[in-house]
Structure 1
Amino acid sequence: MAAPQAAPRKKRTLILIGLLVLLLAIASSVAVYFFLDARDSSPVAAEDAPPPEPPVPIFVTVSPFTVNLQSDYGDRLLYVGLSLRVGDDKTSDFLAQHMPEIRSRLLMLLSGKSAEELIKPAGKIELKKEIMGLFDTPITTPQPTLAIDDVLFSDFIVQ
């Protein structure tokens, strides 16, 4: 008689184990769902924020001028127009107030160049570095710190 009661007990134990496995599977599925949902919500919030506006560039234009170049082959000319990209309005105002002296320094620098070196791309890159170096020497005393970021050529003709 003990045998008939053992079968329902075994059946009940298997059903309980099956229910426990099923509950464990459901609980782990819910946990994974909430974990992935919480992880995905962070980038969505970051994408909703508008990207920061890039700063508006400030340019100081140096009006074009013509310079005689040094040459062994006769008269050579350089027609050049350039702009200076600056970092703030204070630098822009300072350069505008002292433009005659800046143009004079540029003319002195350019008149010492030869046409052969300026027609090459490497010569133009070197010239940009030298123009940036012009502002290492103070224009006035005392001089505020100048925020000059780049020299940009708008016209460049060697003849």
Structure 2
Amino acid sequence: MAEEKKPGKSKRVIIVIIAIVVLLIAGAGGTWWFILRPVTAPSPAQIAKEKLQNTKFINLGSFVTNLQSSNGSTHYIQVQIQLKTYNSVVETTVKSFMPEIRNGILMLLSAQNADKVSEPAVRDQLLQEIKRQANNTLETDGGVVKSPPTEKNPPIAAVYFSSFVVQ
């Protein structure tokens, strides 16, 4: 009788070993499939489509301030500014730091010379300065962090004037 039980036990051991080997192979295949298999990089068209879907314009409203004048007369500038971002979370952050962003923009606008601010090159430079100032405020949490992190994709992608009047 002892001889009859041994072949049954060895068959069970073989079946258990085969089951463990099959599970290990299936686990290795699953790991490769979900973690290690090469993933194709998105095409430029896919990136552009994703950016288009995530594009958000943030209205900062109207700004009115006086300008520097070389002849002593009083000149004013009135602009409406839009910020462009590809990250939907940035809008909430901009609203949190709106007073600081608006203050920085007003300081930039009031430092402009009334005779030169109407030139296209000066306007383009002003847009770049506004973008830099807004990104600096957002990236440093309003100046809490001493040096801004270097980032390829800043929170604000572009700045636009939706209205520009000099008097």
2:53 aligned counterpart, secondary structure: coil
Q: TM-score, normalised by structure 1?
A: 0.62
Letter in 1 for 2:158: D
Q: Deviations over 1:73-125 (max 9, x none)?
A: 30010001000001212211100111111111111111111112210101100
Query: Equivalent residue for 2:166?
Result: 158
- The answer for unaligned runs of 5 or more in structure 1 is 1-50
Q: Does 1:66 align with 2:64?
A: yes
- The answer for unaligned runs of 5 or more in structure 2 is 1-44
Specify the structure having the higher radius of gyration (Cα).
Answer: 1
Paired residues, number: 109
1:10-159 matches, within 5 Å, as 53=49, 54-73=52-71, 74-134=73-133, 135-136=135-136, 138=140, 139-142=142-145, 146-159=154-167
Query: Equivalent residue for 1:44?
Result: none
Displacement of 1:62:
0.6
Two-structure CA RMSD over aligned residues (Å): 2.1
Letter in 2 for 1:104: N
Preserved CA contact (<8 Å) 1:59 1:83: yes
Displacement of 1:127:
0.4
Distance 1:63 1:99 in 2: 11
Q: TM-score, normalised by structure 2?
A: 0.59
